[in-house]
Amino acid sequence: AGLQKHVELARVRHELRLRRGAINTSGSPSTSVDSKRVDAWQECNMEMNVAFYMTADMAKPYNSYVTDLQNDDLRVLIYAGDADLMCNWNGNQAWTRALEFWHTRSCAQCQAVLSSTR
């Protein structure tokens, strides 16, 4: 619910390149996509989930990709729910704190956002 409200914000829709009013909570795939914008953001797309699972990507380390994004000054969101059994927040906090990139020193002082009402 909280993530859905965040995605519905105009500035977030703009950054995600979602068309106005194109929030899909049904789990069914979008039917109209062009090269620049998608119709809907989905919290969970089971078709994509199965395809991802079949590649065994969940067992591969991606920390170097995150470091590359950060070195290119791109913001990265690492999200895990407080009761997430697959990607718990303690594990995510540990590996993100261990990343080394050009903002490492300034990020060492950052506090994790454990909850938000925004």
pLDDT tier, 114 (very low <50, low <70, confident <90, very high otherwise):
low
What's the predicted TM-score (pTM) here? 0.42
Torsion 101-107-109-112 (CA) sign: negative
Q: Which of 96, 30, 42 lies closest to 69, judged by CA?
A: 96
Lookup: tokens for 25:
């909570």
Determine the pLDDT at residue 35: 38
Distance CA 31, CA 39 (A): 8
Task: Name every residue whose Cβ is closer than 8 Å to that of residue 42 and which is 6 or more positions away in sequence.
Answer: 24, 25, 27, 29, 30
pLDDT in tens, 37-94: 555 666 677 787 788 788 877 677 778 888 888 888 888 887 777 666 667 778 888 8
Q: Could you tell me which residue, 17 or 31, shows the higher pLDDT?
A: 17
